[in-house]
Each structure stands twice: as structure tokens, then as C-alpha cells.
Amino acid sequence: MEVTNLQIGEFSKLCGVTVKTLHHYEKLGLITPSKVDPWTGYRYYHVS
């Protein structure tokens, strides 16, 4: 089974940056999550 969406913590480790940095990049419009869970607010990122 191929994983295409990662939780923000997994994605941050893959990119070598902190979760806080990813939040900052999102505010700047540099990186946006592929999905945000409407109930929890969890962000998911596509591996591509």
C-alpha cells in the first residue's frame, strides 16, 4: 500500500524542518497542505 498523504509531523521529518516552520511556510503561501481535516484541523501533505 502506497502512502501519499503524510501528517504534518511526518512531513516535517521528511523535509528536515520543524512543524512550526511548516506552519510559517503555510502562512506565507509557500507550502500548503493537500488536506485539512475539518473536525480536527490536522494538516496532511502530499508526498509529491
**Domain map of the chain by residue range?**
5-46
If one looks up domain 5-46 in CATH, what number appears?
1.10.1660.10
pLDDT at 2: 60
Give the global pTM. Answer: 0.79
pLDDT at 19: 94
pLDDT at 22: 93
pLDDT digits (tens, 9 = 90+) for 1-45: 566 789 999 999 999 999 999 999 999 999 999 999 999 999 999
pLDDT at 20: 96
Q: What is the DSSP string of 1-48?
A: ----EEEHHHHHHHHTS-HHHHHHHHHHTSS--SEE-TTT--EEEE--
